[in-house]
Structures are given as structure tokens and as C-alpha cells.
Structure 1
Amino acid sequence: KTEAYWRPNEVDQLVLTYAYQADDRQEFDIRRAGRSAIPALDLFLNTHTAELVYKHFLGRHLHGRIGVNGLWQENANIPGTGVRPLIPDHDRRTGGIFLIEHLPLTERLELEAGARLDAALLQVRTFDAQDEYITPEHRFTNHAFSLGANWTATDSLRFRAGLNSAFRPPHVSELYSQGLHHGSAAIEEGDPTLGSERMLQATLDTEWGSGNGRWSGALSLHASRTDGFIYLRPEGYRLTIRGAFPVFRYTATDVLMWGTDAQVRFRPVPAWTIELQGGLVRGRDLGQDEWLFQVPADRAGLAVGWQRTKGTTSLSLRGAVRWVRVQDRVPIGLDFTDPPAGYALLALDLLVERPLGKDRMQLGIRGDNLLNTAYRDYLDRFRYYADARGVDLTLWITWRFGHAERLP
């Protein structure tokens, strides 16, 4: 990734960003005749992205960004797997132009508006069901807008309201998947007739805090309507020479979703922090007149943290409990199994931070599911086969060269 910028004056700025990424993806399976070392899926993906943004001020108050961006991506299946590729060879090119403006009306009230126009071209090279070589092309043109208002009612109370549209063209996997996905042990089938998702969303967020800094909180409300929402819908089982596998087909429908997220933080004394958070989401499949498949279950969490600084060394400890309720708002008779039961997990974090000469180091250890609870998460596709992971320990270190000040 590289970036260059130019300042035509003291406040405006022109920024050019380019990035390149290469991904080599391989998936393996147990195969006969000593071929287990040969990948069953072997993909190589080249991605180039570029963006040119002009950050500007118009007059004393109006300011924003205008820019263009583009993406060029090439996906190639490496020969020699002996398996029909799950995702076909394809090239993807996208380009867009966008504008975002902010207008402060008073010291406490600001309005914002934005718009975006995008075009995408997907060129696919694959074989159809009759093993005929085909090279279909898909073109998508989409637009979006956003409107928002930020109001600081007091020094400790802020509101933000927004109304925006969004879009997402279908991914090549949603259009042309055909076969066993070894990463999830399921057969996935695409639909080349799928179009872009189009969403209209309204949000309302508020943040507040007490004057003494001991209490703070946040509440977020959201509701959206999405036409052409794409998801994997169960389609029964398919018997193969390797056994029976669940089948999922990419399907589009119109959905209505709404939900809320809340957080409250209390600091009884400077060294201790207590945090309570929770969230819920509801989703309706308007096309089938039923609950939407694969919507997250209600969840809540309680965390207690302690921190002490002595000299230039900081030590912090945080324990957390996460509760997840059983998801009982599901389409009747669609899934392969009943939703798993709710569960609670215990986690613990320990972090040490200190300077070393002109550098600064962070050393941390995290433990998840410390009680080794046997559970299955509703959103995890592996829940059809096995429990989720048990005790999970992670040790990590961060070293910031030439930055003796504290890390953010």
C-alpha cells in the first residue's frame, strides 16, 4: 500500500492511495490413493485498488470530500486439484464516484449529506451443467445516498440521526458456486440470475455521560428494508459417493430488519470499571412471510475491569461473561436441526504495557471459554457437526519502535 498527497492551500488536500494484495487459498480433504496432500481447492486472487480523494472547505463552514475509486480483481483456479472448482475463474472491475459534505448550522448542530454512483463488471469463465464452456458477463450500476444530523444537546449528551440507502452487487460465489465447500462441509449452489441488494436504513444513536465521568452509556436503534437480500437457504440433503451433505442455495428475498444495541459503563473508583452491554436483532422474510433465516440471537455481556499504573508501567485485568439466548424466531421446518440452546461464556484478559528505551511494548494473554462450556452457536455452520471450541488461550505482543509514549 502506498499513499501520496498534495496541499494546494492550508486547508484542502488531495490524497492518492494505491494498494495491492495477493491471496493464495488452499483447502484440503481426506482423499484416496495418497492424494490427501493435493488441495481440493486451490485459488489465487490478485487485487488492485486505487482511490483519489479531494478533502476541501467551501467557505468558512461547508467542508467534505469528493473522490473516485476503482478495483481490479482476477481470480484463477490452479489446475491439478482433480475437483471441479467451487468458484469459477473470473475478473471483476468496479469504479465509483462519491461526495460527502458537512455543514455546521450552530456550534451544537451539524448536517451531513452524501451520494455515490458505482458501476461493476464481472466476467466469468466456467462450464455449465452440460459441461459447455461459457463466458457470461454481468454488469451492475447502482447509486446510494445518505442524510444525517448530529446534535450535541449538552456537553454530556449527543444524538445522531441518519437515513441512507445502500447497495451490494452479488459476489461471484453467490452467482456461480457449484459443489462442495470444504471449509463448511456443505454443498453450495449459486444463482446467476441474482441482482443487486438495495437497502434503505434509518438509524438513531445517542451517547451520554455524567458530569463527574463515573457514568456513561450509548443506545443505538436501527431499522432497514432490503430488496433482493441474498442469503444461503437450506435445500435438503444430497447423497454422494462420499456420503450425505447438506445443500444450501443462494436465494434472494425482500426482508425487514430492526434492532437495538445498548451499553452502560460505571466507574465506581478510578481503578475499576463495570460495563454492561446487550443487543437484539429481528428479521422478517417478506417474500415467505416468516422469520428470516440466520439472524443473530439476543445477547448480553457483563465485564469488570481493573487497571493500575505505577511509574511508566501499566497493568490491566478484565473479566467478562457473555450470555447468548436460544434463537427461537426461526422459519418453521427450514433448517436441518433445531436451533442450539443458549449459553454463557467466561473470558479473562491480562495486559502489561511499559516502555523499553525509546520503544514501547504491550504483552497480553487472553482466555476464552475458560469453563470449557460445551455449546453451539446458531450462526456457526459447523454446529451441524460438532460443538464450538473449548478453552482457548491467546498470547500476543506488540512492539512500537520509537514510540515511548503510551499506545492508544
Structure 2
Amino acid sequence: NKERSYKASVSLEGSAGDFSFGLNPFYNKIDDFIILEPDAIEQTTRGAFPVYEYRQVDAHLYGIDVNAKYRFDAHFDLDGSFSYVNGQDLTRNRPLIDMPAPNWTNTLTYTNAKLNNLTLGLRSQSVFRQTRYPDNDFNVPVLQDNGETIDQTVQISEPPAGYNLFHFTSSIDFKVAEQSNLTLGFYVDNILDTNYREYLNRQRYYVDDLGRNFRIQLKFNY
């Protein structure tokens, strides 16, 4: 069956002096929503891996996106954003799988147009533990050393712990021709090399997410 979606949302924006904000609550009713769920495990020469199956369920999602910004002066400003999504499987009356956890981001930015549009930013990213998730744990037969077979529960449902990351961003422009310029960017993701696992990443069953990462970007505009 085809998915059918009915969505309602409201946007509210406002400002007062150097402070501005935006609120965006939403509601989405989806008939025959396509989801991908684990329901078995497959033994291979590389180990055991979960097997996923597509299903269709009636669902609703509601939540809110909030953002705010405060400009301290000509160079410094602080941006904040918060997102929350609540997904419910109406067919089986349980939480939807793979809904993003509530998350909160703050970014302190320094800009200086006189210094070749120099931009420096420090961003904190807080992701809370997802507490609404379906129970998709299942039992598999396991052969013991004595030849007996017992059922063992594969705990595949529980989301990982929440985490907090810090990131650094920077960029600067260089004029190379009358109508051309080169932008050099330097970025550091996960500055503190924090160990964490992202709920929406299926590799979380086997390995931590990306650690400290350095990136250099060159962008030529002409």
C-alpha cells in the first residue's frame, strides 16, 4: 500500500532587540508508514548479524523545533536549537522504531569582516538517550558445549546512552581575482574524542561512532 501523510505545522517567529527566536510545532499522521525492524539473526563466517524486515503500520509523529539567537555585539553571537519528535505505532500501540532522540545544540560564533571574513565557531551538541522505543528483542537457539540447545535473548532494542560532543569550525576568505575568492575552512569534529554510539546508526551494535576528526576544506568561488 502507498503511504498517505497528513501534516499540520505552525511557525512562530519573533525578535526583541538583539534576541530572536522561532518555534515550529508539528503533527503528522501517516497511513501505511514504512518501517524497517529487526526480527531475526543470521550466522555468517564473519559473525552474527541482525536481519531486518520492512513493515507498514499506521503512525503519528508530533514534536517541536525551537531555535533562538542572541547577538552580543558586532562580532559575537550565540545560536541555540532544540528538537523533539514523538513517534507512535498506532497499529500495534507502541513507540515507533528509529525516532531521533531529543537533541540540543548551542553554537558560539565569532566573525570579523575586516579580517578576510574570519569566522570561528565552537558548537556543543547534546543528544539525550531515547526512552521511547519498541521491544524488538527476540530469542535464538544457541548450542551449548554439552550438546544441549537453549534459547538466548538477543537484546537489540535498547538505545545507547546520551552523549555530549564539542566541535570547532573556522573559515577565512582570500581574494584571488577581481570576481573570484578562495575560502579556506578548518574543522575539528568531536574535539574531546568522546566515545559514543548514535541510536540511528545500525553500526552501534558493533563499534563506537566517529572519534576526533580533522577536516580541511578549500572552496573556490568564481
- TM-score above 0.5, yes or no: yes
Label 1:287 to 1:367 Cα distance change in 2 as closer, same or farther (>3 A): same
How far apart are the structure 1 equivalents of 2:22 and 2:77? 16
Q: Alpha carbons of 1:221 and 1:361: their partners in 2 closer, same or farther (altered >3 Å)?
A: same
Matched, 1:316 2:119: yes
The whole-number CA distance in structure 1 between the counterparts of 2:112 and 2:9 is 38
Superposition CA RMSD, Å = 1.4
2:117 is paired with a residue whose SS is strand
What is the deviation of 1:332?
Answer: 2.6
Once the 2 structures are TM-superposed, how far is the Cα of residue 243 of structure 1 from its aligned partner?
A: 3.6
2:119 and 2:170 in contact (8 A); partners too: yes
Q: 2:184 aligns with which of 363, 369, 376?
A: 363
Which residue of structure 1 lines up, in the alignment, with residue 41 of structure 2? 237
| Mapped partners of 2:218, 2:99: distance in 1 | 35
Q: Percent identity?
A: 29
Unaligned runs of 5+ residues in structure 2 are: 138-154
Name 2:213's counterpart in structure 1. Answer: 392
The equivalent of 1:328 in structure 2 is 131
Q: What residue number does 1:201 align with?
A: 7
How far 1:227 moved relative to its partner? Answer: 0.6
Cα displacement (A) at 1:235: 0.5
Mapped partners of 1:259, 1:239: distance in 2: 39
Report deviation, 1:361. Answer: 1.4
Q: For each residue in 1:247-277, what CA deviation from the matched residue of structure 2 results, as whole angstroms up to 9, or x when unmatched?
A: 1001100001000000110001111001111
Deviations 1:273-301 (A, max 9, x none): 01111010000001111011110000001
Tell me the matched-pair count: 204
Q: Does 1:258 align with 2:79?
A: no
The runs of 4+ residues in structure 1 deviating greater than 3 Å are: 240-243
Q: Which residue among 67, 71, 80 is the counterpart of 1:276?
A: 80
Local SS of the residue matching 2:204: helix
* 2:194 match: 373
Native 8 Å contact 1:281 1:295 kept in 2 = yes
Q: How far has the Cα of 1:241 moved from its partner? A: 5.0
Residue of 296, 304, 313 corresponding to 2:100 = 296
Query: Cα offset for 1:346?
Result: 0.4
Structure 1: tracts of 5 or more residues without a match: 1-194, 402-408
TM, length-normalised to structure 2? 0.88
The answer to whether the aligner puts 1:226 opposite 2:30 as a matched pair is yes
Q: In structure 2, how many angstroms separate the alpha carbons of the residues matched to 1:240 and 1:384?
A: 16
1:306 aligns with 110
